[in-house]
Amino acid sequence: MAEFSNQWAQINDPEFPGDFDILEIAGKLEPNHYVPAICEGFGFVAIGKDAENKIMLAMPTGDVEEEDGQTYDAIKWEAYEDVVK
C-alpha cells in the first residue's frame, strides 16, 4: 500500500488525511540521524536531520552505486523546504 505524508496530502489532496507527518517524525530525531520513511507523493525514502538540525529528505537519484561488493540505489539528501512546496 502506498504511503503519503500529511504535507503531500495538504498540498495535493486536502480531503486525504495522509499517513504520517514529516515534521512530527523529524521532531524526534537528533542531528545527523535519519529514519526510513517512504512518501510516494514526494518520492523520498527517508527523513533525517543534518548537523545544523535542518530537516532533510532522502531522494532517490535513479542511479545504482556499489560499495564493498554491495549495490544500492543512490540517494541525494535535499532540504525539506526544497521538496515540500
Picking from 61, 65, 63, the residue whose alpha carbon sits closest to that of residue 76 is 61
CA distance 65 to 42: 22
- Order of strands across the sheet that contains 46-49: 34-36, 46-49, 55-67, 70-79
Average pLDDT over residues 47-76: 96
**pLDDT tens across 39-53, in order?**
999 999 999 999 999
Q: How much is the pLDDT for 80?
A: 98
Q: How much is the pLDDT for 49?
A: 98
Grid cell 504535507 in the structure block, residue = 7
CB-CB neighbours of 42 under 10 Å: 20
- Place 2 in a pLDDT band, splitting at 50, 70 and 90: confident
**pLDDT tens across 8-17, in order?**
999 999 999 9
Q: Indicate whether 1 pLDDT > 80.
A: no
- Residues 7, 58, 61, 73, Cα dihedral to 10°: -130
